[in-house]
Amino acid sequence: MERFTKSKTMVFPREIIVGHNTTSQIAELCNRIVRNNSALIVADKKTMKLSGEEIKKILSKANYEVKHKIISSATVGEVNKIINYADKNKVDVLLGVGGGSVIDVTKLAAFELKKPFISVPTSAAHDGIASPRASLKHSKGSVSKTAVSPHAILADTKIIYKAPYRMLASGCADVISNISAVMDWELAHRLKNEEYSSHAAVLAKTAAQLLIDNTDSFRPYTEESVWLAVKAMIVSGVAMSVAGSTRPASGAEHMFSHMLDHLGPGIMLKGKKKRRPMHGEQCGVGSIMMVYLHGGDWEKIRDTLKKIGAPTTSEELGVSKRKIIEALVRAHKIRPERYTILGETGLTPKAAKRVAKITGVI
């Protein structure tokens, strides 16, 4: 049942192109999105070499005036740098060519400038490639900001499949965590009368189910797996556009992930420093525990993540057991206005430890 108490503005990608060597179609795509011919490519040093330079050549041959700007991280300062540069140079369209940080910076700049934005992912580590939200880093973790959905998405599987497979597995885990996010949203609708869209919820669950149903065919470093994963991420992004918020794809599992970020990196396990967990990896582990709390099939979530190659335990995640428990206890403080299975007071340390143990996370 739909229950929107105020008007919603839904912005969706006008075009989605996913497949082998789709980079060659960038000029024709831009022609359909904008009437003028001044384009700004936003990338980092690595992704500029990987894909940005080829895109610049193609657009230049098509008589576009092409400029590029290199960023180093997803911060307010970098967003302002892109806004000022694009405004000064009278740019007509912005292309985010890179991973999550590049795309988040570009979409925020485009939102402020009210300019078209084309998402050109070179990796697929989370569903931000198609969502209307952006995550910026600050001293205490990250913060989610309202942005704009891309006017178009061009995903070249020939490029994306070469990125470290861990990134793709993380992106899949992020989408699979929609299962617990929708459970939280339905709970808030029942208990708090929060506005709810069944259409957005179905889209979010469909994106997750697409991966759950096809995990047996997943193979690292194959374009087929990339195509499937990116398709699911785009559907997840559209679900957020329909909802007008991140509700269909962000619940207690994301609050758990953000709290892990807030508690800080560099946890030592058995005297050896572990790699820093990725956002989607953290959300996947969080989703296992949140689906358990909802009384759902948490084993299915765990087994799916295992098949994909995403972490399901604190050790695989590279986070201490103490930190997992502390994040569970404090996660409800991340977004107190967003009601989830964690309630308004959160879990006790004893309950958090029990959940993590029963699900095998610790």
Which pLDDT belongs to residue 140? 59
**What are the boundaries of each domain within the chain?**
15-162, 166-358
CATH architecture of the domain 166-358 equals Up-down Bundle (1.20)
Which pLDDT belongs to residue 5? 41
Which pLDDT belongs to residue 28? 96
pLDDT tens digit sequence for 219-231: 999 999 999 999 9
Q: Which residues partner with 41 through β-bridges?
A: 68, 95
pLDDT for residue 30 is more than 90: yes
Which pLDDT belongs to residue 225? 96
pLDDT for residue 3 is more than 50: no
- Distance between CA atoms of residues 287 and 177, nearest Å: 5
pLDDT for residue 2 is more than 70: no
Helix (H, G, I), strand (E, B) or coil at 57: helix
Which pLDDT belongs to residue 354? 98
- Distance between CA atoms of residues 238 and 235, nearest Å: 5
Which pLDDT belongs to residue 266? 47
Q: Kindly state the DSSP code that residue 217 receives in the 8-state scheme.
A: G
Cβ-based neighbours of 117, under 8 Å, separated by 6 or more: 93, 94, 95, 96, 106, 107, 110, 111, 148, 150, 151
pLDDT tens digit sequence for 138-177: 655 567 787 888 999 999 999 999 999 999 999 999 999 9
Helix (H, G, I), strand (E, B) or coil at 318: coil
CATH class of 15-162: alpha beta
Contact indicator for 34, 26 with CB cutoff of 8 Å: no
- Count CA atoms within 13 Å of residue 240 on its CB side: 28
Which pLDDT belongs to residue 138? 67
Q: Mean pLDDT score of the chain, rounded to an integer?
A: 92
pTM equals 0.91
Which pLDDT belongs to residue 284? 98
Band of residue 193 on the pLDDT scale cut at 50, 70, 90: very high
CA-nearest of 312, 300, 168 to 229 is 168
pLDDT tens digit sequence for 305-336: 999 999 999 999 999 999 999 999 999 999 99
Which pLDDT belongs to residue 127? 85
pLDDT tens digit sequence for 232-249: 999 999 999 999 999 999
pLDDT for residue 126 is more than 90: no
pLDDT tens digit sequence for 256-301: 999 999 998 544 444 455 578 999 999 999 999 999 999 999 999 9
